[in-house]
């Protein structure tokens, strides 16, 4: 009989848990790791590293004792190409964790594995009976419960968090709440049986079971099973909402509690501590760092009679007021940054966008949170927690200071802007030189009777190579061009389809498509009917997404596909005219005005993954118009602009596509309330006929 | 001939010379400590070596790095530097710093820069107002920065320029500007002004420039205007010729060189100091420098490669955990490259360490008088034992100094 995983972990509370809720201090001891006095925090990693910190920095200049990693950060290659995730293959000695080895985590730190990043990127798809929806660097995918169990067996983290059927970002419906407990229980059992199947019977991983963020009675069956059947397999609990603390069964109250809930400020951490949470993930550390803010708070708050008003929780290091300031970020701070550098340097680094600026802030901010937890433990120990919590609440502002400077250069999929059409996180770093614009203005567009072959001969554009063996459906003969110059579009003939894409995909440019006689290798498509078109376009968007992390600053890019891999070629802006000419040759007409009915709906989180309100000028288009693929969030229509006209009144408006309308006929539009009011003169009409089109740029 | 020299803020002593090539091993003592030459100097453009802390940089073995005057002049600006007390204080770096004059960036980064006898005219990148960088201004900025080695403002034009007249003008102007720099230099007791030899690929002009500048007796000498797209054969000819004309007892710095092969050949031709942004820049693109060339670790073939970046490398990333290192694998770099900046930091550490340790081994080989063998072993490894694949320029240049890679002994 295998030993129980719960034997790996012991949790000693310094006082016996009484009935009354109140902060508690304890010590979490995992065999072979440094003990962790609680309350404490777990550092959050991204792809195995604490953002900005190389592993040597983390080891030497932080006191991080526990690291949270997400399975979705490691399995993208497998989910898309049905291969084994590379990390599984990391060679180790028998008692080593491949994951720990892979990410070079020091031996004395506790390694925790969960399903999703913290905070998770909002996921469009919902979970199924056997899987949850995840986002990897290659896009949206499903994480099957069995795959998670396999990952745990292979990766051997110290602690694994049970896969919970938990929604992020919005409240579950009543129906959904019913299945959450059942699914989580089934998944937990699957995980436990997989963990017990380990060959040599020596447990290496301890399991923390989720307590769901729903009312106690709604998860009573699940919790009942936890305390009756699974008690011996569970070493700790994961909570997503401090309110669900009441659902913890009696015989599990002494288990350590990992709190993954909303901890946007130190105040919220203290609230959760007051409700007996033990270990926390603190996402505001990295958020403050990215915003250029040096955290500045301590617990208990240092009382200063002279202070007028509340103190800020951090210092905005972008401020030029620090340019000459050679004092440390904080006077008595013992962190690496404060003992080796000064404010002027950090201010300079941020200002010069040098990566070291964020490194130094990240070290400091982790130290501040370290000290904060140490202070809280002392305070609980001394019995003065509640009073000091109130004092802290009074002393400091409720929220972190607003960000004034720019964040670090954004690398990677984890920094996508919120939905297409959302604001850029950083302004565009590069722009064409002015003389380029002049040249462009002077350049005559080729006349429409120039054929593509001649243009090719003049070496304006490289010829596209044909693609025979691409693994996804890629067209052989479609040109994709991206342009950020609005002016050009005013001279495009009306028979070219233009789709503006304001999202991150193409750097705020526009995308337009020039079909030749279509022929799609992957799906045997031979005609160019509009729906098949959409499929083709989606393929192209997919390609574009792969290239998106490159942050192409150019005003024009071609995508071509060669035998084995895709290549992206940047061409000069002047080459835009070739595209124009080719598009004329293609003679496609897609952008003519459509006529349909306008109705209204109450806007919220739409199929594009964008949350909007009734006051936003947003629309949902019909199912066939949207033609959503596997991931509706990446639908190229999302974020595109349409213009709508009410022919009866002559009223026009522009709107952004954010959702799919299930009940609409092909050309119908479902609009937000404010937009409907604008066009129909109030909500009374309910349904009015309108004309609309995507080609608003040529009005 | 003397093998050492002494200036108020610099001592230079050659401790060994290769008996075959012109390579030298020396000790350069600067205000912030001794530096062993030959050496590669990493470039911390804006007072930071691309994400590494000064301690991490020191751990790669570096005690002399570059800052760019042009960039520091813009941010944080002379006023701030003045108040802080210079770049060492700004970045918390107790090693040595070398600053360029700012002239190269004026020409390479800015459109509409125009060189006149007064200085370099350019449009402010902040607000487009016309500005002028004179030799006096450049030296004043570098005096404020407080770098251990400062460079004269020179008139840089591409070596590939066919305009011989303009080239001569640039060379002669650089000499006149050197005089103005020397006159403007306020801190010769703590900062060392290096002259910069110009003259393009014209050996006649280079000779004139070497003689004229050597006469000014600056503590050190740079060979400038190279690495601007000229072919390697011409590059080697210029370096080889200049080191013949320059005094033996001064450190020689070839600007803008950083590929391992270029470094090895240049050392054989008698150069001592080098700088280049390539090792750090290429790291940020996911490329690791190894003895067999470059590994683009973003390539899918590395996803399952669990070897360390380079076997036997002693950098903090490659050293195994038992040895106090991190034991970072190629697969992990592949996993984070271009997705987390920590990946860039790790590779930057490796690449800088690689070049510094390479130069350390070069130095040891010179001291033990086995540099020709070292060259042969390095090129053999880099080209899989097939010396016929070694680039012709390298073979030719090394033959000039007595090493024949193709017909060994």
Helix (H) or strand (E) holding A211: strand A206-211
Give the count of alpha carbons within 13 A of A398, CB side only: 0
Q: Provide CB contacts within 8 A for A334, sequence distance 6+.
A: A367
DSSP assignment letter at A573: G
Domain count, chain A: 4
Q: Which of residues 85-104 of A touch B (CB under 8 A)?
A: 86-87, 89-91, 101-104
Q: Which of residues 276-335 of B touch A (CB under 8 A)?
A: 303-304, 306, 316-317, 321, 326-329, 331-332, 334-335
> What is the reported pLDDT for B253?
98
Task: Report the alpha-carbon distance of residue B373 to residue B388 in Å, rounded.
Answer: 17
Is B100 a residue of the active site? yes
Helical residues (DSSP H) of A477-522, grouped into ranges: 486-490
Judge if A554 and A528 occupy the same domain: yes
- Assign 3-state DSSP to chain B and report helix, strand, coil percentages, each to 5: 45, 20, 40
Q: Do A56 and B52 touch (CB under 8 A)?
A: no
pLDDT (tens place) for every residue of chain B, 409 residues total? 688 999 999 999 999 999 999 999 999 999 999 999 999 999 999 999 999 999 999 999 999 999 999 889 889 999 999 999 999 999 999 999 999 988 777 666 655 678 889 998 877 666 666 778 899 999 999 999 999 999 999 998 877 778 899 999 999 999 999 999 999 999 999 999 999 999 999 999 999 999 999 999 999 999 998 887 789 999 999 999 999 999 999 999 999 999 999 999 999 999 999 999 999 999 999 999 999 999 999 998 999 999 999 999 999 999 999 999 999 999 999 999 988 999 999 999 999 999 999 999 999 999 999 999 999 999 999 999 999 999 999 999 999 999 999 987 5
Higher pLDDT, residue A51 or A461: A51
> What is the reported pLDDT for A370?
97
Helical residues (DSSP H) of A382-493, grouped into ranges: 385-395, 434-442, 452-457, 486-490
Distance set, CA A650 to CA A9, A16, A594, B180 (Å): 71, 74, 16, 73
Q: Do B339 and A549 touch (CB under 8 A)?
A: yes
Distance set, CA B55 to CA A234, A337, A350, A657, B345 (Å): 43, 11, 19, 51, 13
Per the domain annotation, does A422 fall within a domain?
A: no
Answer whether B394 touches A (CB < 8 Å). no
Q: Do B303 and A348 touch (CB under 8 A)?
A: no
Q: Do B91 and A351 touch (CB under 8 A)?
A: no
CA distance B263 to chain A (A): 28
Residue at which a domain ends, from A229, A248, A282: A282
- Helix, strand, or coil (residue A669): strand
Q: Which of residues 631-670 of A touch B (CB under 8 A)?
A: none
Answer whether B190 touches A (CB < 8 Å). no
Give the count of alpha carbons within 13 A of B136, CB side only: 6
pLDDT tens-digit readout, A515-562: 322 222 223 333 344 444 444 444 444 444 433 443 433 322 333 322
Answer whether A349 touches B (CB < 8 Å). yes
Helix (H) or strand (E) holding A542: helix A530-547
pLDDT tens-digit readout, A51-97: 999 999 999 999 999 999 999 999 986 655 557 899 999 999 888 99
Contact A62, A52 (CB under 8 A): no
Task: Report the alpha-carbon distance of residue A541 to residue A532 in Å, rounded.
Answer: 14
Answer whether A564 touches B (CB < 8 Å). no
Percent of chain A residues past pLDDT 70, beyond the cut: 68
Task: Report the alpha-carbon distance of residue B216 to residue A630 in Å, rounded.
Answer: 73
Task: Report the alpha-carbon distance of residue B381 to residue B385 in Å, rounded.
Answer: 6
Per the domain annotation, does A95 fall within a domain?
A: yes
Q: Which residues of B touch A90 (CB under 8 A)?
A: 306, 329, 331
Q: Do B335 and A351 touch (CB under 8 A)?
A: no
Contact A145, A164 (CB under 8 A): no
Q: Do A340 and B55 touch (CB under 8 A)?
A: yes
CA distance A408 to chain B (A): 10
Answer whether B351 touches A (CB < 8 Å). no
Higher pLDDT, residue A16 or A283: A283
Answer whether B391 touches A (CB < 8 Å). no
Task: Report the alpha-carbon distance of residue B270 to residue B266 in Å, rounded.
Answer: 6
Does pLDDT of A340 surpass 90? yes
Q: Provide CB contacts within 8 A for A356, sequence distance 6+.
A: A349, B48, B49, B50, B51, B52, B53
Judge if A34 and A82 occupy the same domain: yes
**CB-based burial, A509-525: b 16+ in 10 Å, e otherwise:** bbbbbbbbebbbbeeeb
Task: Report the alpha-carbon distance of residue B134 to residue A167 in Å, rounded.
Answer: 63
Cis peptide before A2 (omega within 30 of 0): no
Query: What CATH number has the domain bearing residue A176?
Result: 3.20.20.105
Q: Nearest to residue B306, comparing CAs of A185, A98, A635, A367?
A: A98
Per the domain annotation, does A51 fall within a domain?
A: yes
From B79, B100, B179, B217, the catalytic residue: B100
Q: Do B331 and A102 touch (CB under 8 A)?
A: yes
Q: Do B76 and A351 touch (CB under 8 A)?
A: yes
Question: Which region among A200-204, A236-240, B298-302 has the lowest average model confidence (pLDDT)?
Answer: A200-204
Answer whether A46 touches B (CB < 8 Å). yes
Per the domain annotation, does A464 fall within a domain?
A: yes
Q: Do B46 and A433 touch (CB under 8 A)?
A: no
Q: Which two tokens stand for residue A115?
A: 């399903």
Q: Residues of B marked as binding for Zn(2+)? A: 313, 315, 318, 350
DSSP assignment letter at A344: H
Q: Which residues of B touch A362 (CB under 8 A)?
A: none
pLDDT tens-digit readout, A368-378: 999 999 999 99
pLDDT tens-digit readout, A138-191: 778 889 999 999 999 999 999 999 999 987 766 777 778 888 999 999 999 999
Cis peptide before A300 (omega within 30 of 0): yes
Per the domain annotation, does A426 fall within a domain?
A: no
Distance set, CA A26 to CA A378, A383, A478, A634 (Å): 12, 14, 63, 46
Question: What is the residue whose two structure tokens read 């003519």?
Answer: A592
Judge if A247 and A154 occupy the same domain: yes
Judge if A251 and A312 occupy the same domain: no
Q: What is the ipTM of this complex?
A: 0.96
Of B47, B50, B328, the CB nearest to A355: B50
> What is the reported pLDDT for A486?
34
Strands A66-70 and A40-44, sheet pairing: parallel
Answer whether B359 touches A (CB < 8 Å). no
> What is the reported pLDDT for A631?
77
Give me the helix-helix angle, B260-268 and B341-367, nearest 10°. 20
Q: Do B342 and A55 touch (CB under 8 A)?
A: yes
Q: Which two tokens stand for residue B72?
A: 């520091």
Query: A589-593 long-range CB contacts below 8 Å, 24 or more apart?
Result: A589/A495, A590/A497, A590/A530, A590/A533, A591/A494, A591/A495, A591/A496, A591/A497, A591/A498, A591/A693, A591/A694, A591/A695, A592/A693, A593/A691, A593/A692, A593/A693
Q: How many CB atoms lie within 10 A of CB B388?
A: 9
Entry field: residues in chain A: 699
Judge if A525 and A671 occupy the same domain: no
Judge if A231 and A309 occupy the same domain: no
Is B275 a residue of the active site? yes
- Please measure the distance between the N-terminal and C-terminal CA atoms of chain B and give it in whole angstroms: 30
pLDDT tens-digit readout, A302-337: 866 666 788 999 999 999 999 999 999 999 999 999
Per the domain annotation, does A587 fall within a domain?
A: no
Judge if A508 and A458 occupy the same domain: yes
Strands A279-281 and A257-259, sheet pairing: parallel
Q: What is the DSSP string of A156-178?
A: --SEEEPPP---SSSPPPHHHHH
Residue of A nearest to B341 (CA): A52
Q: Do B341 and A355 touch (CB under 8 A)?
A: yes
Residue of B nearest to A357 (CA): B51
pLDDT tens-digit readout, B176-210: 999 999 999 999 999 999 999 999 999 999 999 99
The predicted model gives A404-411 an average pLDDT of: 68
CA dihedral A187, A189, A192, A198 (to 10 degrees): -90
Residue at which a domain ends, from A361, A391, A406: A406
> What is the reported pLDDT for A435?
40
Does pLDDT of A502 surpass 80? no
pLDDT tens-digit readout, A245-294: 999 998 899 999 999 987 889 999 999 999 999 999 999 999 999 999 99
Judge if A198 and A219 occupy the same domain: yes
Of A102, A340, A411, the CB nearest to B339: A411
Q: Which residues of B touch A345 (CB under 8 A)?
A: 47, 90-92
- Helix, strand, or coil (residue B365): helix
Q: Which two tokens stand for residue B274?
A: 């080098």
Query: What CATH number has the domain bearing residue A621?
Result: 2.40.40.10
Q: Do A355 and B340 touch (CB under 8 A)?
A: no
Task: Report the alpha-carbon distance of residue A670 to residue A661 in Å, rounded.
Answer: 6
Contact A531, A510 (CB under 8 A): no
Judge if A96 and A203 occupy the same domain: yes
A/B interface, count of CB pairs below 8 Å: 143
> What is the reported pLDDT for A402?
86
Residue of B nearest to A352 (CA): B75
- A114 is in which domain, residue-wise? 5-282
Q: Do B328 and A336 touch (CB under 8 A)?
A: no
Judge if A179 and A276 occupy the same domain: yes
Within its chain, how far is the Cα of A80 from the centroid? Answer: 18
Judge if A571 and A604 occupy the same domain: no
Q: Which residues of B touch A435 (CB under 8 A)?
A: 111
Q: What is the DSSP string of B14-61?
A: EEEE-SSSS-EEEEEEETTEEEEESEEE-B-TTSSBTTB-HHHHHHTT
Question: What is the residue whose two structure tokens read 């299945």?
Answer: A179
- The widest CA-to-CA distance across chain B, in whole angstroms, is 62
Q: Which of residues 96-155 of B touch A (CB under 8 A)?
A: 111
Of A12-16, A226-230, A599-603, where does the model show the most confidence? A226-230
Q: Do B90 and A344 touch (CB under 8 A)?
A: yes
- Judge whether A333 is annotated as a binding position: yes
Contact A80, A118 (CB under 8 A): no
Residue of B nearest to A50 (CA): B342
Per the domain annotation, does A535 fall within a domain?
A: yes
Q: Which of residues 209-238 of B touch A (CB under 8 A)?
A: none
Residue of A nearest to B44 (CA): A354
- Please measure the distance between the N-terminal and C-terminal CA atoms of chain A and give it in whole angstroms: 76
Residue at which a domain ends, from A282, A312, A332: A282
Does pLDDT of A649 surpass 90? no
**pTM of the predicted model as reported, rounded to 2 decimal places:** 0.76
Q: Provide CB contacts within 8 A for A308, sequence distance 6+.
A: none
Q: Do A345 and B329 touch (CB under 8 A)?
A: no
Higher pLDDT, residue A507 or B154: B154
Q: Which two tokens stand for residue A629?
A: 């693929």
From B155, B275, B305, B312, the catalytic residue: B275
Q: Do A345 and B47 touch (CB under 8 A)?
A: yes
pLDDT tens-digit readout, A33-45: 999 999 999 999 9
CA distance B407 to chain A (A): 41
Look over chain A and give the mean of its residue pLDDT values, rounded to a whole number.
Answer: 74
Judge if A134 and A200 occupy the same domain: yes
> What is the reported pLDDT for A468?
26
Task: Report the alpha-carbon distance of residue A474 to residue A525 in Å, rounded.
Answer: 11
Answer whether A336 touches B (CB < 8 Å). yes
Does pLDDT of A695 surpass 50? no
Per the domain annotation, does A126 fall within a domain?
A: yes
| Band (A630; pLDDT cuts 50, 70, 90) | confident
Of B53, B71, B75, the CB nearest to A359: B53
Residue of B nearest to A550 (CA): B338
Q: Which residues of B touch A136 (CB under 8 A)?
A: none
Percent of chain A residues past pLDDT 90, beyond the cut: 42
Residue of B nearest to A99 (CA): B332
Strand (E) positions, A55-189?
Answer: 66-70, 110-114, 131-136, 139-144, 159-161
Strand order of the β-sheet with B130-133 is B114-115, B120-123, B130-133
| A12: phi then psi, degrees, rounded to nearest 5 | -105, 115
């Amino acid at each position: 009989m295998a030993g129980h995983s719960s034997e790996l972990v012991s949790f000693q509370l310094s006082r016996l848990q009484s009935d009354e809720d109140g902060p508690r201090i304890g010590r979490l001891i995992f065999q072979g790791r440094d003990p962790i006095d609680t309350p404490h925090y777990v550092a959050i990693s991204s792809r195995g590293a604490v953002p900005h910190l190389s592993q040597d920095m983390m080891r030497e200049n932080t006191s991080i004792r526990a690291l949270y990693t997400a399975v979705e950060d490691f399995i993208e290659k497998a989910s898309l190409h049905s291969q084994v995730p590379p990390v599984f293959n990391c060679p180790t000695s028998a008692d080593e964790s491949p994951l720990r080895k892979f990410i070079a985590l020091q031996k004395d730190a506790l390694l925790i594995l969960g399903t999703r990043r913290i905070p998770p990127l909002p996921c469009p798809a919902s979970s199924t009976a056997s899987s949850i929806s995840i986002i990897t660097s290659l896009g949206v995918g499903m994480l099957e419960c069995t795959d998670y169990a396999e990952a745990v067996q292979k990766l051997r983290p110290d602690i694994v968090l049970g896969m919970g059927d938990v929604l992020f970002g919005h409240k579950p419906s009543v129906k959904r709440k019913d299945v959450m407990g059942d699914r989580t229980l089934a998944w937990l059992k699957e995980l436990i049986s997989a963990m017990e199947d380990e060959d040599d019977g020596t447990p290496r991983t301890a399991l923390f079971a989720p307590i769901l963020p729903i009312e106690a009675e709604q998860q009573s069956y699940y919790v009942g099973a936890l305390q009756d059947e699974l008690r011996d397999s569970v070493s700790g609990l994961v909570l997503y909402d401090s309110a669900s603390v009441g659902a913890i069964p009696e015989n599990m109250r002494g288990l350590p509690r990992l709190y993954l809930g909303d901890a946007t400020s130190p105040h919220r951490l203290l609230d959760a501590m007051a409700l007996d949470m033990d270990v926390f993930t603190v996402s505001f550390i990295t958020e403050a760092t990215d915003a250029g803010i040096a955290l500045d708070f301590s617990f208990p708050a240092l009382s200063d009679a002279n202070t007028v008003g509340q103190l800020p929780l951090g210092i905005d290091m972008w401020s030029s007021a620090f340019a000459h300031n050679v004092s440390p970020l904080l006077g008595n701070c013992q962190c690496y940054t404060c003992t080796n550098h000064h404010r002027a340097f950090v201010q300079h680094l941020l200002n010069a966008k040098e990566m070291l600026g964020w490194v130094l802030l990240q070290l400091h901010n982790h130290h501040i949170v370290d000290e904060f937890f140490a202070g809280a433990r002392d305070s609980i120990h001394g019995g003065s927690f509640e009073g000091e919590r109130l004092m802290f609440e009074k002393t400091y502002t409720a929220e972190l200071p607003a960000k004034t400077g720019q964040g670090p250069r954004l690398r990677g999929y984890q920094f996508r802007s919120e939905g297409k059409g959302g604001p850029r996180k950083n302004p565009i770093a590069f722009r064409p030189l002015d003389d380029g614009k002049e040249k462009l203005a002077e350049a005559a567009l080729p006349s429409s009777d120039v054929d593509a072959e001649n243009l090719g001969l003049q070496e304006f554009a490289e010829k596209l190579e044909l693609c025979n063996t691409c693994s996804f459906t890629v067209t052989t003969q479609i040109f994709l061009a991206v342009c950020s110059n609005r002016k050009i579009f005013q001279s495009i003939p009306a028979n070219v389809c233009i789709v503006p894409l304001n999202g991150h995909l193409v750097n705020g440019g526009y995308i337009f498509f020039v079909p030749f006689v279509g022929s799609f290798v992957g799906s045997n498509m031979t005609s160019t009917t509009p729906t098949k078109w959409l499929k083709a376009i989606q393929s192209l968007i997919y390609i574009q997404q792969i290239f998106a992390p490159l942050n192409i600053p150019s005003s024009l890019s071609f995508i071509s596909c060669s035998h084995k891999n895709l290549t992206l070629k940047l061409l000069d802006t002047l080459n835009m005219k070739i595209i124009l000419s080719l598009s004329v040759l293609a003679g496609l007409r897609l952008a003519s005005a459509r006529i349909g009915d306008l109705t209204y709906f109450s806007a919220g989180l739409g199929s594009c993954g964008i949350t909007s309100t009734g006051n936003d000028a947003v629309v949902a288009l019909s199912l066939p118009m949207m033609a959503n693929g596997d991931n509706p969030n990446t639908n190229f229509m999302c974020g595109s602009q349409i213009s709508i006209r009410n022919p009866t009144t002559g009223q026009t408006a522009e709107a952004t596509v954010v959702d799919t309308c299930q009940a609409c006929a092909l050309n119908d539009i479902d609009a937000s309330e404010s937009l409907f009011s604008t066009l129909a003169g109030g909500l009374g009409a309910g349904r009015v006929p309108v004309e609309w089109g995507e080609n608003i740029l040529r009005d | 001939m003397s093998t050492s020299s002494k200036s108020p803020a610099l001592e230079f002593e050659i401790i060994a010379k290769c008996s075959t090539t012109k390579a030298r091993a020396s000790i350069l003592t600067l205000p912030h400590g001794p530096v062993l030459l030959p050496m590669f100097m990493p470039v911390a453009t804006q007072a930071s070596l691309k994400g590494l802390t000064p301690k991490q940089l020191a751990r790669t073995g570096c005690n002399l790095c570059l800052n760019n005057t042009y960039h520091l002049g813009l941010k944080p600006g002379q006023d701030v530097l003045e108040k802080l007390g210079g770049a060492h204080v700004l970045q918390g770096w107790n090693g040595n710093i070398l600053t360029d004059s700012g002239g190269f960036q004026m020409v390479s980064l800015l459109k509409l820069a125009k060189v006149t006898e007064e200085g370099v005219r350019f449009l402010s990148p902040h607000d487009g107002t016309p500005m002028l960088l004179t030799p006096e201004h450049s030296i004043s900025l570098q005096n404020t920065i407080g770098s251990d080695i400062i460079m004269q403002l020179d008139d840089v034009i591409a070596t590939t320029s066919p305009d011989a007249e303009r080239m001569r003008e640039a060379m002669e102007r650089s000499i006149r500007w050197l005089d103005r720099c020397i006159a403007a230099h306020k801190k010769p007791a703590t900062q060392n002004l290096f002259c910069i030899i110009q003259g393009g690929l014209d050996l006649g002009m280079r000779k004139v420039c070497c003689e004229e500048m050597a006469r000014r007796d600056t503590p050190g000498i740079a060979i400038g205007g190279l690495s601007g797209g000229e072919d390697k054969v011409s590059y080697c000819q210029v370096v080889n010729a200049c080191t013949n004309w320059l005094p033996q007892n001064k450190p020689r710095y070839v600007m803008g060189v950083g590929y391992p092969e270029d470094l090895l050949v240049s050392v054989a031709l008698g150069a001592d100091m080098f700088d280049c942004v390539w090792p750090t820049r290429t790291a940020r693109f996911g490329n690791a420098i190894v003895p067999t060339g470059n590994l683009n670790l973003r390539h899918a073939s590395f996803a399952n490669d669990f070897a360390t970046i380079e076997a036997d490398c002693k950098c903090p990333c490659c050293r195994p955990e038992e040895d106090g290192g991190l034991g970072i694998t190629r697969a992990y770099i592949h996993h984070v490259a271009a997705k987390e900046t920590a990946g860039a930091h790790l590779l930057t550490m490796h690449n800088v360490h690689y070049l510094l340790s390479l130069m350390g081994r070069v130095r040891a080989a010179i001291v033990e008088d086995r540099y020709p063998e070292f060259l042969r072993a390095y090129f053999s490894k880099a080209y899989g034992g097939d010396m016929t694949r070694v680039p012709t320029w390298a073979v030719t240049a090394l033959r000039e100094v007595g090493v024949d890679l193709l017909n060994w002994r």
